[in-house]
Amino acid sequence: MSRIKILFVKFLNLINFLINAFLIKIIQFRKREIKKNSLLIIRLDSIGDYVLVQNFFNLIKLDSPYKDYKVTLCGNIIWKDLAEYCNKDAFEKFIWINKKKFKWNIPYKFRILKSVYQSGFEVAIETTFSREILFGDTIIKASKAKERIGSTGSPESYVKWKRNLFSDNYYTKLITQSEKNIFEFYRNKEFFEKLFHNKIELAKPSLNFDDVEINLPTDKEFLVVVPGAQEKARRWSEENFTELIKHLLKEYHYDILLAGSSSEKSTIMKIIDGVNSGRVFDISGKTSLPQFGKIISLAKLLISNETSAVHFAAAVGTPFICISNGKHLGRFNPYPEAMRLIFKYVYPQFVGENLNSLDKIEKQFNVESKLDINEILPARVIQAVSDLLERIDGRIN
């Protein structure tokens, strides 16, 4: 990104910040009553982040200082159907936010902030480690809850000084979290243990989709392949996926389900055209998130770029192969061996050669990776598939 573009983005963010402050002033001009034992939980990050935190939400009503509270979740609308399925017993109400609309659609933003304020929450908790001033922090400020709790936040200097200057004072209490680079599930566990003042025994994320109904396009054993990703730098090429799938069809009896969002349809159709096989099925944009989770739970193996699909697989216990450029190393990948999952990560050569000394390189890749994911050749992923299927079938220990 050019320097001029960076400065322009910063200017727009400042304008957005000032608009938020102005709207909140207007909204809070009229007093409202605080409702006793009412709690707002805020979580606005992506689908994979939600998978890694949702188990802790279900503990709120079981054994926490807030077990007798009426709890509302303010969440990202992209995982609405998943949360309403997985956390239906944890929350009485939901406030869903479309982050793209919330940023610049002023009437929409006003309605959301007004709804949060007028709800009169006694306690509001922003549960995200990488707090966002224009989103979660703004919701906290708008709530004007009697008690407003959040995390001290991620330690990177380029964001920490902004929180210190602009939004730390929105909170009545900030929970101190380790500045070490730890896996995100453990980060969430650390936050909720300090919030609940209680030890939590959860060892890994889990999801159960037994009650979800689906119609599969095949009655044979199948692999799920996810060739898309939000960021271009995280997308292994269509040509590489085509070569991989051709090999899988030749060497194994499994059918292939190509999955992704409707926005990834063109990518998937190029792969289908390149493969040209009746054993490959397109399910992109055809499932809800619970149905997507159910399909992954039934798969022999998931092969994916680093997307939420990998976290689904980990949570339902399906073996997976993740093709990654190493971004967020140590925080979102690889999964800790202590969780005893069956998986393989395939990285560019530099990361792969240094995985046994992860602590020495993870700072370099914790926030960003400039490595080219297409440095990874199909032969390496093919070998990973072979190794993992042998392990799944029990031919080796």
183 and 273 assigned to the same domain? no
Write the pLDDT tens digit of every residue in 295-310: 999 999 999 999 999 9
Question: Is residue 306 in some structural domain?
Answer: yes
230 and 90 assigned to the same domain? no
Write the pLDDT tens digit of every residue in 325-343: 999 999 999 999 999 999 9
55 and 176 assigned to the same domain? yes
Angle between helices 308-316 and 289-298 (to 10 degrees): 60
Write the pLDDT tens digit of every residue in 357-370: 777 888 888 888 99
Domain total of the chain: 2
Question: Is residue 1 in some structural domain?
Answer: no
Write the pLDDT tens digit of every residue in 52-84: 999 999 999 998 999 999 999 999 999 999 999
**Range 348-361 average pLDDT:** 84
Q: Domain boundary at 196, 211, 234, which? A: 196
Question: Is residue 2 in some structural domain?
Answer: no
Question: Is residue 397 in some structural domain?
Answer: no
CATH of the domain at 331: 3.40.50.2000
Output DSSP code: residue 264. Answer: G
Question: Is residue 175 in some structural domain?
Answer: yes
Question: Is residue 114 in some structural domain?
Answer: yes
124 and 263 assigned to the same domain? no
Q: Is pLDDT at 396 greater than 80 in this prediction?
A: no
Mean pLDDT of the chain: 94
Tell me if 103 sits within 8 A of 16, measured CB to CB. yes
383 and 303 assigned to the same domain? yes
264 and 171 assigned to the same domain? no
167 and 244 assigned to the same domain? no
266 and 138 assigned to the same domain? no
The distance from CA 381 to its chain's CA centroid, rounded to whole angstroms, is 24
318 and 176 assigned to the same domain? no
Question: Is residue 19 in some structural domain?
Answer: no
DSSP of 97-152, one letter per residue? E-HHHHHH-HHHHHHHHHHHHHTTEEEEEE--SS--TTTHHHHHHHH--SEEEEE-
Question: Which domain covers residue 349, as residue numbers?
Answer: 222-392
Q: Domain boundary at 162, 196, 230, which? A: 196
**Range 230-248 average pLDDT:** 95
Of 60, 74, 37, 333, residue with least CA distance to 200: 60
181 and 275 assigned to the same domain? no
pLDDT, residue 1, reads 58
Question: Is residue 216 in some structural domain?
Answer: no
243 and 280 assigned to the same domain? yes
Per the model's pLDDT, the better-predicted residue between 9 and 122 turns out to be: 122
Q: Domain boundary at 150, 179, 196, which? A: 196
157 and 261 assigned to the same domain? no
